[in-house]
Structure 1
């Protein structure tokens, strides 16, 4: 279904998908390539309650969408186990 109307205008008032969750962005150091992206995605994606993970290697950021507020220590442990360092939450 498109958000565009027959007259060509677009509606931006659509409600977000139910259960879309909470998105939290972290700064992570040590990521340099696609392998890093895959390793962090796998490690963080395996955490309970995580529904999506987006890794920006160039920007050094990991966005996590979860059902509830993530536990920073648990996320840090997963990232550490993957071989990288969680620096903190992004501003």
Structure 2
């Protein structure tokens, strides 16, 4: 699944988002793309749960 994260702009942003997603699912594969402002996630969790994790990191998001 892929999410647009318009406020993601630096390494700190990607680290915070990745940390929250991995807290939700330690086996998740998280691939941030700063240029496109997206995060691709491979996980068994629901899209809603991943979106909530991104929001818990302090970023707004919507699915792509």
Give the TM-score band, short-chain normalised: 0.7 to 0.9
Query: Could you say which residue in structure 2 is the equivalent of 1:73?
Result: 48
Q: Which has the higher strand share?
A: 1
Unaligned runs of 5+ in 1: 1-23
1:83 — aligned with what? 58
The structure carrying a bigger helix percent of its residues is 2
User: Structure 2 regions of 5+ residues with no counterpart?
Assistant: none
Q: For residues 49 and 33 of structure 1, do their structure 2 counterparts lie closer, same or farther at Cα, with a shift above 3 Å needed? A: closer
Higher relative contact order (CA 8 A, sep 6+): 2
TM-score of the pair, normalised by structure 1: 0.61
Which contiguous aligned blocks of 4+ residues in structure 1 show a shift greater than 4 angstroms?
none
Output the TM-score relative to the length of structure 2. Answer: 0.83
Where does residue 60 of structure 1 map in the other structure?
A: 37
Q: How many residues align?
A: 64
In our comparison, the structure showing a higher alpha carbon Rg is 1
Does the Cα contact within 8 Å between 2:21 and 2:28 map onto a contact in 1? no
